[in-house]
Structure 1
């Protein structure tokens, strides 16, 4: 029996919601490395979109192109069903007020495969996550604090 598009979309949305609750209860980023987190806040995003192990970042102020370097690739297990989210060692994209586009380096596992998060938009008190043509909206208050990584991960 195959699931329809709307059923898959609802399940994926539920998965993203569960991940937000995990991020909301994680630790704050290291105060000495707050610049990447501050850039998110300055552009309308909560700092919890990045894990707590950021080592360095670069941002082209003109184009918005950015690169974030983590200490190691990072894996987070999302309760209650042990869904996985992986952050690559380097995360890249284009940052503008209220929109992160061309995002590379963050993937979630759902429906027995890995899905890349390709963009994030800030819309009032909500964040809209883009996974290809599928979007899911969640309260940005769920991303106030940065998650701690459980260990290194290899992106599949």
Structure 2
């Protein structure tokens, strides 16, 4: 009877140790935390699509739905044609491999009128910006670096 008791205790200890090891392997160290810029690059986009004023972001990895919170509204000049662009303090959309769709929060001024950028496709070495049914293609290398916000329309940290 005592050998059964010892065997039972040994089995319980072995199971406890195995489950404890498995639980530790599921934990993610804090060094694995990604930024919004990292997530763009993981999906085939340059990080310079976002200004350098990102405060935080959220991403639903199953649907691709995302939300980026900036420190405030941000005005920039888009290369290479020097179009004025404006980021609201919140940008949202759906991020999938090579495509950002249902985009809200980014506008560009072309022909004296402000237009919302509704999608961005990554096509090889180019980015295709969608403004409704119209699109424009630019080299993705123009967006390798995150732009600084211009003027006083953003919050400083």
- The TM-score with structure 1 as length reference comes to 0.72
Partner residue in 1 for 2:70: 70
Q: CA deviation at 1:80?
A: 9.4
- The TM-score with structure 2 as length reference comes to 0.72
Q: CA deviation at 1:153?
A: 4.2
Of the two, which has the highest radius of gyration? 2
Cα distance, 1:96–1:110 mapped onto 2, change above 3 Å: same
Cα distance, 1:147–1:127 mapped onto 2, change above 3 Å: same
Gaps of 5+ in 2: 1-32
User: Is the CA contact 1:37–1:50 (under 8 Å) kept in the aligned structure 2?
Assistant: yes
Deviates more, 1:72-81 or 1:120-129: 72-81
Alpha-carbon distance in 2 for matches of 1:80, 1:136: 12
Gaps of 5+ in 1: 1-32
Equivalences, count: 122
Q: Deviations over 1:119-143 (max 9, x none)?
A: 0000111111100001111111110
Cα distance, 1:149–1:42 mapped onto 2, change above 3 Å: same
User: Is the CA contact 1:73–1:152 (under 8 Å) kept in the aligned structure 2?
Assistant: no
Tell me which of the two structures has the higher relative contact order, counting C-alpha pairs closer than 8 angstroms and 6 or more residues apart: 1
Alpha-carbon distance in 1 for matches of 2:78, 2:125: 23
Partner residue in 1 for 2:128: 128
User: Is the CA contact 1:119–1:129 (under 8 Å) kept in the aligned structure 2?
Assistant: yes
User: Is the CA contact 1:72–1:152 (under 8 Å) kept in the aligned structure 2?
Assistant: no
CA-based RMSD: 2.2
The aligned runs of 1:1-156 (5 Å cut-off) are 35-77=35-77, 83-153=83-153
